[in-house]
A and B are shown apart, each in its own frame.
Chain A
């Protein structure tokens, strides 16, 4: 089991009802963890339209997770 801190932004934060949480998970990649928390919190956006950052850097969905990672989940963006 990995212990990960997940952080949610904008619509994800409102849907999850929290800014962050600690997750004990068997997910080994950012994408797997996204599917897991999306299922739990009812996120409707496809991963392809969302972004993820690990420990302060943007990361691909297939990035491996390590215990202690801080994983930021970004819903589809809308600047401008």
Chain B
């Protein structure tokens, strides 16, 4: 943890237990965690694996901003978020968000706020590799056009 708020881009597997432990605070009565996992299908296509690419410096800068906003808007104690980059397999944790707060309402709200903003604002891109052998870049508004790899 770099302090009360921590955002990281990681090329290594996410360790939810260690991240959750860093949220512990005597004044915290609630902890809400969200994990985004790689699933085996998207929009009717069988997905074999995912690849995430980022501009790390700008992603961290924007991620820190999102966490600071969450701390301003909601009565939380600590918040952390880690986003994976590189190739991920089905079932891998792609993104982890955790928030501790005195009460559950703020923890739920802040966690939802953080994951929604992270998905829409950070320079992170996702390429799906399909079971059919094709692949496509995905974005949060429209599905990518599959192209032969």
Which residues does A use to contact B, with CB under 8 Å?
9-11, 14, 49, 51, 53, 56, 58, 72, 74-80
Q: At the interface, yes or no: B21 with Cβ under 8 Å from chain A?
A: no
The answer for the CA separation of A10 and B126 in the assembled complex, in Å, is 8
Number of A-B residue pairs with CB-CB distance less than 8 Å in the complex they form: 68
A residues in contact with B125, CB < 8 Å: 9-11, 75, 77-78
B109 to chain A, nearest CB (A): 18
Q: Count of B residues near A, CB < 8 Å? A: 28
B55 near A53 with CB under 8 A, answer yes
Which residues does B use to contact A, with CB under 8 Å?
36, 52-53, 55, 57-58, 62, 83, 94-95, 115, 118-127, 137-142, 144
B21 to chain A, nearest CB (A): 23
Residue of A nearest to B51 (CB): A10
B67 to chain A, nearest CB (A): 14
Residue of A nearest to B36 (CB): A80
